[in-house]
Amino acid sequence: MGDRYDRFDDDDDDDRGGRDRNGVDSDPLGLRRRRGSKKKAPTFTQEEGFAFDYKDPQQLRYFLTDRGKIVPRRISGLNAKQQREVTLAVKRARNIALLPYTSTK
């Protein structure tokens, strides 16, 4: 019996769904398959002199998922410094019981 990929030519096109001649995934980490795009940061974070306030839970809820996890930087659109600040503010707000650690389900 012949190779199951005999009908394909030798060049590495995506005809085989990202697999090479031996059936091995040529992109095991999925780096080529990006889906979606980066979310834009909220406009209130772009203002000059803006700082996250741990005493304002409504502002911080924007950066939490429905399960209570802190949204990662690639999704929230914040820069690294802002992400560190929002993480610190969320942790402080959780500590004094302004925000829950988990969802209430």
Question: pLDDT grade, residue 45 (50/70/90)?
Answer: confident
In tens, the pLDDT along 6-15 reads 555 555 555 5
pLDDT above 80 (res 18): no
Every domain range in the chain assigned CATH 4.10.640.10: 43-95
In tens, the pLDDT along 59-74 reads 999 999 999 999 999 9
**Got the DSSP string for the chain?**
---TTTTS-SS--GGGSSB-TTS-BS-TT--S---S-PPPPPGGGSSTT----TT-HHHHHTTB-TTSPBPPHHHH---HHHHHHHHHHHHHHHHTTSS-SS---
Average pLDDT over residues 52-65: 93
Q: Is the domain 43-95 a CATH 4.10.640.10 member?
A: yes
